[in-house]
Each structure stands twice: as structure tokens, then as C-alpha cells.
Structure 1
Amino acid sequence: MANKNHELDKPIIEAAKIEFLKNGFQATAISNIAKKAGVTTGAIYTRYKGKDELFYSLIEDFLEALNREVKDNRASYMNYRTDKNFEDFLKNIEKETARYIDLLFEYYEECKLLLCCSKGSSVEAMFDEMMKNKIFQTKTFIKENIDSDISEMKLDLVELLMSQQFNIYALIIKKGYSKDETIEYVKMLGEFIGAGWKKIFNEFIK
């Protein structure tokens, strides 16, 4: 078998990113990517099994960075089990939000691919699944470490609050805010988010 021409890797990746961002996963054809990259469709299929694998390769680094961040944040929140310091808990939320904003702009196009262009791909539901997993872990943490008798209604309020936090990131991408605009936007919303968490801890979790 002939060796792949690795000089073609970059134009294929760049063309794929342009086409997927412009048209979305479903409406993008491998033939159009090949045409824009100046290669044959065969050159793409020797590198990727199909359109889905090519799409995933474009966001893989972003997903790995996101998973590392999730693990780091989980370790930070676990400190609450011992120190019971709510102010530190809020600071962790602020720190987590700031880091996610950094990641969002570090991998802006990749994030846009995932949130806005992935319909029909194998990763279409990935963001929602990550959100649901994070919410489940938080609710479990509260029940196991803060209030074992907390009602389902109160846990639903936790889910509602966290869902709004996740929706912030999707809205930022869809609206096309700059990083400065995003920081200001999140700062204003942070007052509401912080107030929500305070209400949960001060009134619901007893």
C-alpha cells in the first residue's frame, strides 16, 4: 500500500472546517471538501472512514481539553466535603466559569462546530449528555455530602440552575459575542447564578 501524502492533511482539515462551519454536518458533502482542499475524495477516505470521523477529528482536541477541565473542577468541589465553606464553593463556580470561557475562545471554531453544526453527526447530543452528567454528579454530591434528606423538588431547582449555566455557553457561541462581551455578559449573569446558589444553600439545604 502506498504511503499517505501528509502534505494533504492540512488542506483537508482546513477545507473540512470551512465547509462544516458554513453548511453544518448534514449539508456538507465529502466531495465539496475534496474540491475545496484540491484533493480527490479518495485522498480523504484514505485518512478517514467517512464524514463523521472527519468531523470528530476537528473537535477532538477541544473535547479532550474539556474533559481535563471537568476532572480538575470535580476535585476542587470535593473540598467542600471537609471545609463546608460556601464562599469557597462560589469561588470555585466563578473559577470554573472563567476557565470555560477561556476554553471557549481558545477552541472557538471547534466549540461552534459542536454546538451549532453537529446535527446528524455522532456527537450531536454530546453537549447535552455532558450537561446531564454534570447535573447528575452535582445532585448526587449534594445528596451524599450536604443533605441526604433533600427533596426531589429541591434537586430539580439545582438542575434548573445548572441548566441555565450550561445554556450560557451555547448562547455565547450562537450570538457570536466577543470575549470582552462574554466576560461582561457572564459577570452580570453571575449575580443571578450566585444568588440562586445562595438560596439553595441558605434555605433549601438544611
Structure 2
Amino acid sequence: MEESSTLQNILNAAKTEFLQKGFQTASLRNIVKNAGVTTGAFYGYFSNKEALFAALVEKHASAIMGRFMCAQEEFMKLPEEEQPESMSDFSGDCMAWMVDYIYEHFDVFRLIICCSEGTAYADFVHAMVEVEVESTYRFMESLRSLGHQVPELDRQFCHIVCSGMFNGVFEMVVHQMPQADAKIYISQLQQFHRAGWMNILGL
């Protein structure tokens, strides 16, 4: 068996096992057996089960997080007076890209969102929420510098609102929604949260 096909067989068997059982209860023995390789061959590629899981998801988790953080930074580089008007465009463009990317690699995001308990990726959504919270506070400071009377918001409240948004977004993965339905759903979710923020921030 060629080296490249051996690795691919391991990855294919792992994806099936993780999707069926989740990371914690997935059996390395089953993965090796279903891949048609020896345990020794497996350890020639991966140090442990978590390294195998990471090999399946890291590239795509990084792509989503990188695009998300890039959009946040690009928004904050805008002149402060342009930020309120541009908020919807930046948020909408980034989210549309994310939805398309997720559906191009849907099984990977099922692994991250539904099957990653016990790995570092179990905090994937939480990490996005924390980035959003920081960006929200920076945006509020920009609004204040423009003369808006923005109320002081408790950080825990801000976290809850952002968490509601991002956990809502990934419901499309949890429930394996058709992509066309997910796009409508995400657009409506963004409208809902945007209207709430505009009201809270007094815009």
C-alpha cells in the first residue's frame, strides 16, 4: 500500500468513526482496523487520537477563524465615522463567506461542532464569541468618541448576546440544514441581532 493511500485510509476511517461516535468514545482500534493498517503504521503518522482529529479539522478551523478575525480587523481600521454605516456590510460579507465555506467542508464542521468534546476544538465557538466580544467593546469606544451616548454594558451580558448569535449560526451544522435554508436563516438571525444591538447602543 502506498504511503499516501495509507494516510488517506486512516483519515477516511477516522472521519467515519469520529462522526459516528464523537472523539471521546471513538475507538482507535476500530480506526486502525477499518483503515486496513497496523497500529505501528498508524503511529508512523500520528502520535495519538487527538493528533489524528486535529489532522482532519485544523486547516478548516483555522480558515474560518482567520477570515473572521481578518474581517474584524479590517472593520476596525475604517475611519470611526464610517464604522456605523459599514457594520452591516462587513458582517454580512464575512458571514456569507463562512456559510459557503462550511458547506464546502460540511463533515469537517460536523466534527468540530458536534464531535469534538475532549479536544481543543470543543472551544471553537467560544473562541469566536470572545473575539466578537472584544470587537464589540472596541466598536462601542469608537461610537463614544463620535459623540454617541453608548451605555456601559456588562461584559457577561455582551458575552451572552454574542454567544447566542454564534451558537445560533452553527445550528445549521447541528441540524444539517440544506444550504439554501441556512442562508435564509443566517440572514434573518443577523437582522434580529443587528436590530437588538442598534436598540441597545442607541443608534
TM-score interval (norm. to shorter): 0.7 to 0.9
Tell me the amino acid that sits aligned with residue 33 of structure 1: I
CA distance in 2 between counterparts of 1:78 and 1:85 reads 8
Structure 1 partner of 2:174: 174
Change (3 A) 1:165 1:80: farther
Q: How does 1:1-206 map to 2 (within 5 A)?
A: 5-139=3-137, 141-147=138-144, 150-153=150-153, 157-203=157-203
Code of the aligned partner of 2:165? Q
Summarize the Cα distance change of 1:13–1:121 in structure 2 as closer, same or farther, 3 Å threshold: same
Q: How far 1:50 moved relative to its partner?
A: 0.3
Please report the RMSD computed on the Cα atoms of aligned residues, expressed in angstroms: 2.3
Question: Does structure 2 conserve the Cα–Cα contact (< 8 Å) formed by 1:19 and 1:28?
Answer: yes
> Does structure 1 conserve the Cα–Cα contact (< 8 Å) formed by 2:125 and 2:166?
no
Higher mean displacement: 4-13 or 156-165: 156-165
TM-score, length-scaled by structure 1: 0.85
SS of the residue corresponding to residue 181 of structure 1 reads helix
For residue 144 of structure 1, report the CA deviation from its aligned partner.
Answer: 3.5
Of stretches 191-200 and 113-122 in structure 1, the one that deviates more from structure 2 is 191-200
Q: 1:138/1:85 Cα in 2 relative to 1: closer, same or farther (>3 Å)?
A: closer
Runs of 4+ in 1 over 6 A off after TM superposition: none
Equivalent pairs counted in the alignment come to 199
**What do residues 28-75 of structure 1 show as CA deviations (whole Å, max 9, x unaligned)?**
111100111111111111100000000011001102211320232023
The verdict on how the C-alpha distance between 1:82 and 1:152 changes in structure 2, with shifts beyond 3 A counting, is: closer
Q: What TM-score do the two structures reach when normalised by structure 2? A: 0.86
1:85 Cα offset (Å)? 4.6
> How far, CA to CA, are the matches of 1:144 and 1:202 in structure 2?
14
Per-residue CA deviation, residues 83-104 of structure 1 (Å, 9 max, x unaligned), is 3352321121111221121121
Question: Which deviates more, 156-165 or 33-42?
Answer: 156-165
Shift of 1:111: 0.9
Query: Which amino acid in structure 2 is aligned with residue 63 of structure 1?
Result: A
Gaps of 5+ in 2: none
Q: Percent identity of the aligned residues?
A: 26
